[in-house]
Amino acid sequence: MPLKSKPKLKPTCLHFGSGPTAKPPLWQLDHLQSALIGRSHRSLEAKAKLALLIEKTRTVLKIPNDYKIGILPGSATGAIECALWSCLGLYGVDVMAFDVFGKLWVTDVIDQLKLDDVTVSQTDYGHMPSLNHNPNRDLVFTWNGTTSGTCVPHADWIHDDRKGLTICDATSAAFCVDLPWSKLDVTAYSWQKGLGGEAAHGMLILSPRAVERLQTYQPSWPLPRLFRLTNKGPLIEGIFRGETINTPSMLCVEDCLQALDWAEKIGGLKGLVNRCQTNFGILKEWVQRTSWVDFMAQEASITSPSSVCLALPLLVGHSAPLQREFLKSFAGLLRKEQAAYEVVNHMHAPPSLRIWCGPTVESQNIELLLPWLEWAYQETLFSFNFV
């Protein structure tokens, strides 16, 4: 089989990639000139910006008015850690794990918090644990498996009259799917996925039930200052008005505000979800007609529409080091041609590709990427003498 010729057109967005994600369309650095650089985050102007970010988040994600929204350090990881350390221990805990990060929360709950009454539902990559919910226990789960290409299909299985809290890692789900807030008590995500924002900041969203837990329950372990959401009982309300626990980057705040402005202009959450579904539809049609690639997700109903993870059947049966070397070469060709970046999945996931289809990606760029994937695959086959 002759080698495919190199495609002529490349994706046009800045640094099209999956680690973390593309910036919103038409993004430019000089758009951030209104950032409060060099100003204290406790100044009136900075607190106003932070409060505006919180309220725009509420508007775009359609978060109920009685839910609290706070900006925390440490990206989504910091926000989830804060929730685990602050809320768990009152009841037994059920943890669902089907990707790298879900498995990290298992480690935190069992090895770090050392809770005794823990039930873990864990599956291999590409599968989903049984969607069972005990309303008398706390539940920790990931909505979208960023590294597995799988996602929870719906939340009908979560009880409305629950006693325990639901704690959801919504990274790579927020702004990509319509989250059912009535089913979620503690939700965390970061700016750099669905919004294409910058790292280091996490969002923590609390239902009234979660606020009640925080104000009436004191864990037996000491809490680091960065995790303290209450002061001798009452909630520290300032955190949820933009008075952050630590010093946020006002440059990153401005970037996030611009992304939220863009989201509002394209129709809010509905527009964001539609863009994500359109992008996924283009990639899905290509996967279905391409013999050398498969979805890592084993069922259509649990296939992530945003962080799409792809397995290469040809690599099955080869050693893990060879598989990773193959993918490294594949990605290296794309990087050299400036066609795509960081398309190899997380280092702790099975050797695979990951294509970001979130709303900040233009559909045209998904279409332009596909011939490059075909070209890079054939070039890599040839270099590894697989043809």
Same domain, 159 and 307: no
In this structure, the answer to whether residues 256 and 363 fall within a common structural domain is no
Asked whether residue 260 falls in the same domain as residue 305, the answer is no
Taking 3-state DSSP, the helix, strand and coil percentages for the chain, each rounded to the nearest 5, stand at 40, 15, 45
**pLDDT of 38:** 87
In a domain, 9, yes or no: no
277 and 347 share one domain: yes
Work out whether strand 307-311 and strand 294-295 pair parallel, antiparallel, or are unpaired. Answer: antiparallel
| pLDDT value of position 312 | 97
Contact between 380 and 302 under an 8 Å Cβ cutoff? The reply is: no
Return averaged pLDDT per consecutive 10 residues of the chain, 387 residues in all.
Answer: 78 79 92 90 92 98 98 95 98 97 95 96 97 97 97 98 98 97 98 93 98 97 94 95 92 97 98 98 98 97 98 94 96 95 94 97 96 96 84
Query: Rounded to the nearest 5 degrees, what angle is found at the Cα of 208, between the Cα atoms of 207 and 214?
Result: 95
pLDDT of residue 19: 76
Integer-rounded Cα Rg, in Å, for the chain is: 21
Are 220 and 243 found together in one domain? Answer: yes
Whether residue 281 sits in one domain with residue 246: no
Question: 205: domain CATH number?
Answer: 3.40.640.10
**Residue 3: its pLDDT value, please?**
63
Q: Do 327 and 258 have their domain in common?
A: no
Cβ-based burial of 2 (10 A; exposed 0-12, middle 13-18, buried ≥19): exposed
Task: Please report whether residue 6 resides in a domain.
Answer: no
Statement to judge: residues 137 and 254 lie in one domain: yes
13 within a domain of the structure (yes/no): no
Phi, then psi, of 301 in degrees rounded to 5: -65, -20
Predicted pLDDT of residue 4: 72
In this structure, the answer to whether residues 331 and 249 fall within a common structural domain is no
- Please identify, among 229, 264, 299, the residue that sits at the C-terminal boundary of a domain: 264
Q: Are residues 220 and 316 in the same domain?
A: no
Please report the pLDDT score of residue 40 as a whole number. Answer: 85
- Which helix (DSSP H) or strand (DSSP E) does residue 201 occupy? strand 201-206
Domain assignment of residue 19, yes or no: no
How far is it, in rounded angstroms, from Cα 149 to Cα 112?
27
Query: Same domain for 49 and 118?
Result: yes
Please state the pTM of the whole predicted model: 0.96
Last residue of a domain, one of 240, 264, 288: 264
In this structure, is residue 116 part of a structural domain?
Answer: yes
197 with 290, same domain? no
Q: What is the DSSP letter of 205?
A: E
Beta strands in 8-123 (DSSP E): 68-73, 93-97, 118-122
Q: Is 70 helix (H, G, I), strand (E, B) or coil?
A: strand
Can you give the three-state secondary structure of 235-279, one letter per residue? ECHHHHHCCCCCCCCHHHHHHHHHHHHHHHHCCHHHHHHHHHHHH
Q: Indicate whether 16 belongs to any domain.
A: no
pLDDT, residue 387, reads: 59
Which of helix, strand or coil describes residue 119?
strand
Strand pairing of 353-356 and 307-311? antiparallel
Domain that holds residue 140: 39-264
Determine, yes or no, domain membership for 8.
no
Number of domains in the chain: 2
Whether residue 4 lies inside any domain: the answer is no
- The strand pair at 294-295 and 201-206 is best described as unpaired
Q: Which of 222, 237, 264 is the last residue of a domain?
A: 264
Q: Could you say which DSSP state residue 314 is in? A: G
